[in-house]
Chains A and B, each alone.
Chain A
Amino acid sequence: MSWHDLRLRLRALLFRSRVESELDEELKFHLEMEARKHGTSGLDPADATRQAKVAFGAAERVKEECRDTRGTQWFDNFLQDLRFAFRLLRKDRGYAFTAIAALALGIGSNTALFTLFAATVLKPLPVPNPAGLVNLWRTTAQSPRGGFFSFADYIYYRDHNSGLAALAAETPAHLRLVTASGPSLATTNGAEPMFGLFITANYLNVFGIQPIAGRDFLPEEERQTAGPYPVLLSENYWDRRFGRNPSVLGQTLMLSGTQTVVIGITPRDFMGTRQDVPDAWVIASAFGDVGRRALNRNDLSCGLTGRLKPGVTRQQAQADLSVLASSLRQEYPQAERQWNVQVVPALRFGTNHQALTILFGILQVAMGLVLLIACTNVAGLLLGKSVTRRKEIAVRLSLGASRGRLVRQLVSEGVLMALLAGFASLLITWQALAAIGRVVSAALAVKGTTLAIDVTPDLHVFVYILTISILAGVSFSLAPALQSTRPDLVAALKDETAAFGVRNKGRLRGWLVASQIAVSLTLLIGAGLLTSSSVRMVSIDPGFETRSVLNLTVLNPQELGYSAARSQDLQRTLHDRLRATPGVVSVSFATRIPLGGNVTSTFVSPNDRPPSATGQRQFPFSYVSQDYFQTLGIPLLRGRAFTAQEIGSNAAVAVISEGLARRFWPDDDAIGKRISLGSRTEVRFVGRRTPLSPSTEVIGVAREVYSQSLTAPDAGVVYIPKPADEWGGLVFVRVSGDPSSVAGALIREIHGTEPNLAVSAETLEHMIATGEVSALYRVGAIVFTAIGLLGFTLASVGIYSIMAFSVSQQTREVGIRMALGAQRRDVLRLLLGAGLKWIVAGLLIGAGLGAILSRVLASQLLLEGQGFLDPAVIAAVSALTGLLALVAAYFPARRATKLDPALTLRFE
């Protein structure tokens, strides 16, 4: 395309009316000149003009050809098509409304999903210059994603790297706000949960964020060794907990036994690279003496965020840090043996970013299928519509309109409808998501965190809606358009609506029915599989008793400032009083919930082999008191449980799980072998203690339990006797009889002993059913069922309308058959039989796709014990779908048989 061409085309596009009037003038001038010529040769003016026009030919055609040379014709045609389509939609509002509503459901559900995706994954961090921020991950070949660093590693990387302007560390922790100095801030039930991050003094600076009130941390505060430690509150928490009371600044807060003072407020919704807004940001020195932490390479607790120096790329920083990681490996072969460092762009949801993308991918496929059903539905409508428009189309074809032009026009109609639907769904989903978001964050606020997801549509969302609307519009209108413009003019003009011998007309409709059934069946199979695994999840045997065991979570009295001796006394009294409560079988204390919750783990290795043979590996551990195995019903496979004497005396003995025993001594008896536990760790916060013992005797092997997830049993657990001065904040009580009636009595006993202790009680069964792990499956099942039902509803309506339409097309055939003596049963069989073929085809395809989908689900969500194909689920869902599809087909067919043959024959 040359420059002239482009210039002229643009001119024609922008100054359309001027170009048009110039053309008119030019041709008029020509005709005048021609008429004048004829006039001079003696004709009268009227004849001369006529002569000129004859010589010229059809002026409109000439103009049309001139316009063609401009190359802007498509645009004019497009506008014309849109105007025409708009008129048609306004003329038939019922049809337009049905089609647009179906599309809006399909496009809307996709838009909702994409908006969430854009808000969580696509949007950059809402901080200045987010592109310059990177996260550092501590990786091995086995776990390539997101490991934490030790504080010692942090200091090394911070001081030696050359690519980062600054590097900050964060350590997440669940805290308890115990008392506050002002009377208005006192807590009612002794303690309330809070979510906090221990951060280095440069943290906010790295993100480029300033406190909205008060001040940021000072560098020297990072080296503070005694309280009160400075703390920043998030605006979200300040608002929620203290009603924006400015006097909170300067107040002392007791956080999990440590004195802190509020020095500032961070901006609303600022959350670093985390997924939720923390309540408090505590200076790192409050987590443990920085000097001592700097020597400990085994306390892996720090997430790192850095800012690239201007002009340094992420790859350059990566190269630099890889060199540092390798020198660390050489210097500390024990601790750093196989670790590496990876520099990744700082994104919200950091390490979960990839998992989220996969999740969104799976959901997007499901939503895409719903949209496909909606499109098929509208295609069915259009096909029905096109038959009533056959005459119009035939007339236009016979008047010389090209088929391509007509197809373009029919497709423009579809695109217009889809765009209208897209626009409607944009408004609806935006408002709906904002409302859901408010409800969800209100619910989460109770748990001490704030979800902050901005669902205001951005450019991504607009482009997405525009794209899928146009794609949907083209895809559902193309096939009906091609079919209805097929040149078969004679039959159409004679108004010979489909009767005998036009079987192939039904094929497109048949495929529409089949594909709707296939797609909705696929979705329903996915929903069925997720539902059945969430049901199994609750009924799964985790390896310990769940129904008759109550879990009481009791606040550590040291967090209230009680002395160690006093809380030790309290614990003894509690044990005795609980044990004496009617209905109680046994009582045991432990530091870890058997399922979910914070996993405390420590390094464990066998002593009869050099450490290099088994590698440095951490395993979960729990301090337990006497009767633990009996209370939770965990059988000991070999050896024995702890004696009362061992519990009281900090004896160097341990019970390990069978997985660990098999790992360390595959062909040998574990009993009597010795293991080493832990490494020196200094942790100031109450309630965090790790074992440290170079030689501990294994006295028992317990059966494996599911303590970290319900999808697979643990790889190994270590149980150690609980020292008398360790607070066993988790009390397990085995009861006989109804647990809920005993629970009240137990709580009364505890409050009778010490009124200030915060307590909660629930059965383990309830705890598992409401826990995070099963919640994931339940939400997944609900979402898939919702999507599946949405799809199926759309599909049923689609099947019904297509069947109704095709039956109405066969009215004459039915009339003739019945006039010739066919029974109603025969006719019904004929009509249903034609539909049945497609229903069965749809079921077969859907079951196949469902099998593939379930394989994907199994690989992504690990449904343990449930193969990728669950024939029972697939068969049940297919049967149900087939039945409902038959019902949708049955009603129109039955109506046809009720018609009077005489009437149907006279119908035309």
Chain B
Amino acid sequence: MSQPSRMDLLQGTLDLLILRTLQHGPMHGWSVSERIQQISREVLQVNQGSLYPALHRLEHQGWIKAEWGVSELGRRARFYSLTAQGKKQLELETENWARLSDAIGRVLKLA
């Protein structure tokens, strides 16, 4: 409504984006949201309110794990990193996503 150039995330895609972002290494919550916004050239607006429940959910599923560390500014922060199980899940979901967007693309072109 307010910013037509920004898109709300599709249901269920937030998990995928978080997992993909964490592939580079441990990161705390704020930098995950910043990174998603930067890389998507500010198009994808991560609802910060839903970021943390999503992080906690992924942790419960065992795809990421959390550890307390020291942030770049010397503050205590909670860092998330991918687990082995999370890496597998990321591959799976990436594949699914590719298939889905490919299929949608075809429909949009040809239907």
Bound: A26/B49 CA distance, A = 13
Residues in chain B near residue A62, CB distance under 8 A = 49, 52-53
- Beyond contacts A34-B48, A55-B48, A69-B53: 7 other A-B pairs, Cβ-Cβ < 8 A, are A2-B60, A26-B77, A34-B30, A61-B49, A65-B49, A66-B52, A66-B56
- Chain A nearest CB, measured from B77 CB (Å): 5
Residues in chain A near residue B29, CB distance under 8 A = 26, 29-30
Interface membership of A3, Cβ < 8 A = yes
Residues in chain B near residue A71, CB distance under 8 A = 60
- Chain B nearest CB, measured from A36 CB (Å): 8
Residues in chain A near residue B47, CB distance under 8 A = 57
Chain B residue with minimal CB distance to A58? Answer: B49
Contacts known (A57-B49, A70-B56); A26 close to B78, Cβ less than 8 A = yes
Residues in chain A near residue B28, CB distance under 8 A = 29
Q: 13 A–B contact pairs at CB < 8 A?
A: A3-B62, A8-B59, A22-B78, A29-B29, A29-B78, A30-B30, A37-B34, A56-B49, A58-B49, A62-B49, A65-B50, A65-B53, A66-B56
Chain A residue with minimal CB distance to B58? Answer: A69
- Taking chain A's interface residues, is the majority helix, strand, or loop, or is none over half, making it mixed? helix
Bound: A29/B33 CA distance, A = 13
Residues in chain B near residue A70, CB distance under 8 A = 56, 60
Bound: A57/B31 CA distance, A = 18
A5 near B61 with CB under 8 A, answer: yes
- Chain B nearest CB, measured from A770 CB (Å): 73
Interface membership of A91, Cβ < 8 A = no
List B17-59 residues whose CB lies under 8 Å from chain A: 28-31, 34, 47-50, 52-53, 56-57, 59
Interface membership of A27, Cβ < 8 A = yes
Interface flags for A27-39 (1: CB within 8 Å of B; 0: not) read 1011011100100
Interface membership of B71, Cβ < 8 A = yes
Interface membership of A239, Cβ < 8 A = no
Contact of B53 among A8, A25, A34, A66 (CB under 8 A): A66
Residues in chain A near residue B71, CB distance under 8 A = 29
Interface membership of B76, Cβ < 8 A = yes
Interface membership of B75, Cβ < 8 A = yes
Residues in chain B near residue A5, CB distance under 8 A = 60-62
Residues in chain A near residue B31, CB distance under 8 A = 33
A2 near B49 with CB under 8 A, answer: no
- Chain A nearest CB, measured from B42 CB (Å): 13
List A45-70 residues whose CB lies under 8 Å from chain B: 55-58, 61-62, 65-66, 68-70
Bound: A5/B78 CA distance, A = 18
- Chain B nearest CB, measured from A50 CB (Å): 15
Q: How many A-B residue pairs have CB under 8 A?
A: 66
Chain B residue with minimal CB distance to A9? Answer: B60
Bound: A304/B69 CA distance, A = 75
Residues in chain A near residue B34, CB distance under 8 A = 37
Residue of A4, A32, A37, A58 with highest tally of chain B CB at under 10 A: A4
Bound: A25/B71 CA distance, A = 13
- Chain B nearest CB, measured from A570 CB (Å): 95
Chain B residue with minimal CB distance to A56? Answer: B48
A2 near B62 with CB under 8 A, answer: yes
B60 near A69 with CB under 8 A, answer: yes
Residues in chain B near residue A26, CB distance under 8 A = 29, 52, 77-78
Residue of B56, B57, B60, B78 with highest tally of chain A CB at under 10 A: B60
Chain B residue with minimal CB distance to A32? Answer: B75
- Chain B nearest CB, measured from A624 CB (Å): 88
Residues in chain B near residue A2, CB distance under 8 A = 60-62
Bound: A32/B61 CA distance, A = 28
Residues in chain A near residue B75, CB distance under 8 A = 29, 32
Interface flags for A2-32 (1: CB within 8 Å of B; 0: not) read 1111001100000000000010011101101
